[in-house]
Amino acid sequence: MNELKGLIDCHSHTYFSPDSSADPEQMVERAIELGLEAYAITDHCECNRWFGIDYYNAEPNEHDTYDFGKDFERSLDCITKLKERYSDSINLICGVELGQAPQDFDIANKAVGDDRLDLVIGSIHELSNHPDFCFINYNSMLRRNIYMMLEDYFKEILKLCKWGKFDVLGHLTYTLRYIKGDYGINVDHSIYDDLIAECFKVIIQNSKGIEVNTSGLRQKYGNSFPEYKYIKMYHDLGGEIISLGSDAHRVEDLGKGIEECKELVKKAGFKYLAYFKNHNPEFVRID
Ligand SMILES: [Zn+2]
Ligand SMILES: [Zn+2]
């Protein structure tokens, strides 16, 4: 089929992530079928829940899972073996989606130091003492509290950027998937533009990149994370390292939206996409 020949998908999950039941080998087979130039498995590792629940003295609830340290080990072990097995057929990248690094920098430093890793996506899925953004009922929140939460989200992103030990910043504006998409609440996002520009400047100074996450295109939100305006802002501030990821949690979502987002990235002025080998960007020409 080779419908995505020369393109990359650098964000996907397998059954080593609590919210996916995808078989890693089937994911790799699908990536080969799509003709991807590079493909990354990036299972979740939430730094704030690296250990078991007892370590944190936390009350169990219906959505929080723990022991990501164990998932991390299992995922990397599996990807490393698949890399070897499929070395003749695909450029497989051993990655991780590292969540909430600013909530435990010791764990984050330990995780990113694992020499099996090619790629670290730095993400924020929740703020300290708050549930994951996907579990919040935004209808019960006052509008000004939503604005304050968003400000805290971008401040947390800035902390993550200043730490800077990731390769690409994951799905910036992920919060809008729920607030705008699922709850249909319109927020004036432009009030955060200065803060977002500051994040980009720090990323650029550290020679790191951002990802354009295509998952929002197949959700109610209907846009990439981040949307075009911020892709362009990153470009105009001097950003050069940009990656694409479907964030597929199922085999059938692999590569979805990659072609569309490549066009957005091109429109913003980029001539290359980047994927990572041993944390070094490799560039794929797109014009
Ligand atoms: Zn994520
Ligand atoms: Zn993800």
Has residue 89 been placed in a domain? yes
pLDDT tens string 182-235:
999 999 999 999 999 999 999 999 999 999 999 999 999 999 999 999 999 999
Name the least confident of 57-71, 90-104, 196-210, 244-258: 57-71
pLDDT tens string 95-106:
999 999 999 999
Has residue 178 been placed in a domain? yes
pLDDT > 80? residue 131: yes
Residue 178 CA to residue 181 CA, distance in Å, equals 5
* CA 253 / ligand 2 centre spacing (Å): 12
Structure tokens at 140: 């019960």
* CA 17 / ligand 1 centre spacing (Å): 11
Has residue 177 been placed in a domain? yes
Q: Which ligand is nearest to the CA of 171?
A: 1
23: CATH: 3.20.20.140
Has residue 68 been placed in a domain? yes
Q: How many domains does the chain have?
A: 1
- Residue 1 pLDDT level (bands cut at 50, 70, 90): low
**Structure confidence at residue 2 (pLDDT):** 72
Print the domain residue range for 80: 8-285
* CA 54 / ligand 1 centre spacing (Å): 25
CB within 8 Å of 216: residues ≥ 6 apart:
176, 177, 181, 222, 223, 224, 225
* CA 246 / ligand 1 centre spacing (Å): 11
Has residue 176 been placed in a domain? yes
Q: What's the whole-number mean pLDDT along residues 135-163?
A: 97
Has residue 203 been placed in a domain? yes
Residue 6 CA to residue 273 CA, distance in Å, equals 10
Has residue 1 been placed in a domain? no
Has residue 3 been placed in a domain? no
Give the 3-state DSSP-derived string for the chain, with helices as H, strands as E and coil as C. Answer: CCCCCCCEECCECCCCCCCCCCCHHHHHHHHHHHCCCEEEEEEEEEHHHCCCHHHHCCCCCCCCCCCHHHHHHHHHHHHHHHHHHCCCCCCEEEEEEEECHHHCHHHHHHHHCCCCCCEEEEECCCCCCCCCHHHCCHHHCCHHHHHHHHHHHHHHHHHHHHHCCCCEECCCCCCHHHHHHHCCCCCCHHHHHHHHHHHHHHHHHCCCEEEEEHHHHHCCCCCCECCHHHHHHHHHCCCCCEEEECCECCHHHCCCCHHHHHHHHHHCCCCEEEEEECCEEEEEECC
pLDDT > 70? residue 17: yes
- All residues with CB under 5 Å from ion ligand 2: 97, 247
CB within 8 Å of 26: residues ≥ 6 apart:
251
